[in-house]
Chain A
Amino acid sequence: MTEEEEDSSAKMSEDVKRYLKLDTRSSAAATSEPPCSSSSSASALANNKSRNFKSFEPPCPDHVLENVLENVLQFLTSRCDRNAVSLVCRSWWRVEAQTRFEVFIGNCYSLSPLRLTHRFTRVRSLVLKGKPRFADFNLMPRNWGAQFAPWVAATAKAYPWLEKVHLKRMFVTDDDLALLAESFPGFKELTLVCCEGFGTSGIAVVANKCRQLKVLDLLESEVTDDEVDWLSCFPASETHLESLSFDCVESPINFKALEELVVRSPFLKKLRTNRFVSLEVLHRLMVRAPQLTSLGTGSFSPENVLQGEQEPDYAAAFRACKSISCLSGFRDLTPEYLPAISPVCANLTSLNFSYANISPDMLKPIIRNCHNIRVFWALDSICDEGLQAVAATCKELRELRVFPFDPREDSEGPISGVGLQAISEGCRKLESILYFCQRMTNGAVTAMSENCPQLTVFRLCIMGRHRPDHVTGKPMDVGFGAIVKNCKKLTRLAVSGLLTDEAFSYIGEYGKLIRTLSVAFAGNSDRALRYVLEGCPKLQKLEIRDSPFGDVGLRSGMHRYCNMRFVWLSSCVLSRGGCREVAHALPNVVVEVFGSDDDDDDDTVTGDYVETLYLYRSLDGPRKDAPKFVTIL
């Protein structure tokens, strides 16, 4: 070291030493509010001779700490870790807030936009979730809330550098999208999942004004057709697009504009088209974008099949797309074209057939090449036989979802415990399953619990309400009990079929990591609800419908509601008095009650019976935008 370096290093250690001395002297100094003026530290050491260091103006100890902390915290990305860090002391709270660039808000009503912008000053990415999941099934009246408007207004002022917005179950208007597009010049990623309230005109503004746009993903959202050619609204120059998903947009598109867009988007990796894109159009897109890794294939049906005319070589197009690992779409599949995807099967990690009526015979020749599949979604049209084929080949399967082709209670139901058991025996690495069926056995469910210890998500929907084990006639208690007992990593559970309180006693006893629980048409009494609320310490999201749970059960969770994201109880046996009791006991919890869709005409829910209870914790009290059919107790 040179002389100067030696000096400065000696000086630095003096600072640190002084800081350490200060620290041991009084913890009050460490937790005091800003600023770290030397006078405040001097006052902490009233008769300290070290006052004479004031003349050198060394950095205040708190400043040193904050600089160090800032540099360290930049590496901390997990929000759980960051939440923990922010609780250490005020100084840490402050520094953490300044270094949090990605904010996740699981319930948009848990705090106000103002609180967000006051605490976190440098946000670049915002994830916001609105309505609870049962809203997807028409259990919530329209216009309940979860508007994006106040959030975009607040963030437009506070974070002009905002780059990413990810919304789930929010109400987003075209005006909101326009404001977003105008307010954030560096905006890069927009993802709207299960959202509604906007149309193609809003999308057009985003496409046109967000010149740095990399991601535009519209997933499972309701997009009104404003008859705007939004694809033509992208700027004419080369784009930064990496991902474009519009498979949920139920309106025709300008194929030529899409093709031209793809040509001038060299970074495009993910393209999910809608059902208006025929095989011919898809072929042209694939030829122009062989670098794609994820492809939503549109209808997968030819527009015109003229006799004698040469059809495009679809298999060749797939062969040329060597990087495709994720395939979806098949919205209107013409079966004889399915084999065209064969060239990419060996590389596929994700395959979504859940819009295609695929029989076992159609599936087998395809799936037998899909050795690397990790995510597989399908309709139950593949039958138990198809599931057996999946089990035989897809040893790397992590996630399986099987949806009903005919989603009615009394439909035929071509899959059963046979398929479930086959999957459990073949796909030992399974982590997540969603399975709709008409009949199930405790034996099959138990087999899965034993064969698939890595399960974190188990969602079984036996579509007929209160259906018992179809072989033994017994309730499904034992099967679900085995799941919670054997799957020690389980964090999400959805139950169905005939279930007594016993099933819930198992959930309470063994479901120690469960964060999300969905219950429908189950249980006998309040004891069931009590088992869960007393037994599951990690429970965050509880959604229950049509089960015999009342005020006593609700009361048993008083100690938990402040630590949960939300509780939903609909068509149970709650009374207003019982709900009011919770509201009065827990001032930090907002208790909303409202009726079903049909109650739009009523001004308020009259009488004692509560159709729907939705409660959630909130830092800023009840919301001011509640519609008149919602009563906040």
Chain B
Amino acid sequence: MAYEKKVNELNLKDTELCLGLPGRTEEIKEEQEVSCVKSNNKRQFEETRDEEESTPPTKTQIVGWPPVRSYRKNNSVSYVKVSMDGAPYLRKIDLKTYKNYPELLKALENMFKFTVGEYSEREGYKGSGFVPTYEDKDGDWMLVGDVPWDMFSSSCKRLRIMKGSDAPTLDASL
């Protein structure tokens, strides 16, 4: 069976000495289709075995693995990348170290030396030309501050501080 063949190959790969972590299989990528779990409606067995993309760092997470209930996962560190338009390099912050939006925004202001404007639900951030946005689990770019903090911190994948004229106003996007 095709599957058994792959298992045997994997066995050998797993016991091979290499510098990577056990389980990382860059070679396997050539043989199998690599697909992201999210976009895959009907997961065939082969695809679930290895979703790793060719560039590290982290593997795409398999649904429900490891089998730890979601409320326990709150403990873990959750670093997200932060970019600011015009800044030469990105930063990383651990969202878990902040308890609310004011704390986060203050940290961002300190990190990138800017001030964010006044937030209102209707008009977003006004007054400074800097707009903090984030990419959520679904891949959509959202305005920081619209949803409750807990919801934000568990669904935020990365942050981007949009600047000045680059930052589209809400009116223009509608």
Contact = CB atoms under 8 A, between A and B. Distances in A.
Interface of A: 134, 136-139, 220, 248, 250, 354-355, 357, 379, 403-410, 436, 439, 461, 463-468, 470, 473-475, 498, 520-521, 524-525, 545-546, 548, 571-573, 595-599, 602, 607, 609, 611
A609 B63 contact: no
A461 B66 contact: yes
Contacts of B21: 410, 464
Interface string B1-38: 10110010011001100000111100000000000001
B110 interface: no
A461 B43 contact: no
Nearest to B7: A524
B89 interface: no
B86 interface: no
B55 interface: no
Interface of B: 1, 3-4, 7, 10-11, 14-15, 21-24, 38, 40-45, 48-49, 58-59, 61-73, 75-77, 150
B75 A405 contact: yes
- The CB with the most chain A CB atoms within 10 A, among B42, B49, B62, is that of B42
Given A138-B63, A463-B65, 20 more contacts: A137-B69, A220-B69, A405-B76, A408-B66, A409-B65, A410-B21, A410-B24, A410-B58, A464-B22, A467-B23, A468-B14, A474-B15, A475-B11, A521-B65, A525-B4, A548-B3, A548-B7, A573-B45, A596-B63, A598-B40
Contact of A571 (B1, B38, B45): B45
A408 B62 CA distance: 9
Contacts of B24: 410
Nearest to B63: A138
Contact of B67 (A220, A248, A520, A524): A520
A389 B74 CA distance: 27
Contact of A406 (B44, B59, B76): B76
A139 B15 contact: no
Given A406-B77, A465-B23, A611-B43, A597 B63 contact: yes
B68 A436 contact: yes
Nearest to A436: B66
A185 B62 CA distance: 47
11 contacts: A138-B64, A248-B71, A355-B72, A408-B59, A409-B62, A465-B23, A466-B14, A468-B15, A548-B1, A597-B63, A602-B41
B75 A466 contact: no
A355 B14 contact: no
A137 B70 CA distance: 7
A525 B70 contact: no
Contact of A408 (B3, B42, B63, B76): B76
Nearest to A474: B15
A545 B21 CA distance: 23
A598 B38 contact: yes
Nearest to B57: A410
Contact of B42 (A405, A407, A521, A611): A611
B93 to A, nearest CB: 17
Across chains A and B, which 4 residue pairs bring their CB atoms closest together, nearest first? Answer: A137-B64, A473-B15, A407-B68, A463-B66
Nearest to A407: B68
A409 B66 contact: yes
B42 A607 contact: yes
Nearest to A222: B71
Contacts of B42: 595-596, 599, 607, 609, 611
A520 B14 CA distance: 18
Contacts of A467: 14, 22-23
Contacts of A548: 1, 3-4, 7, 45
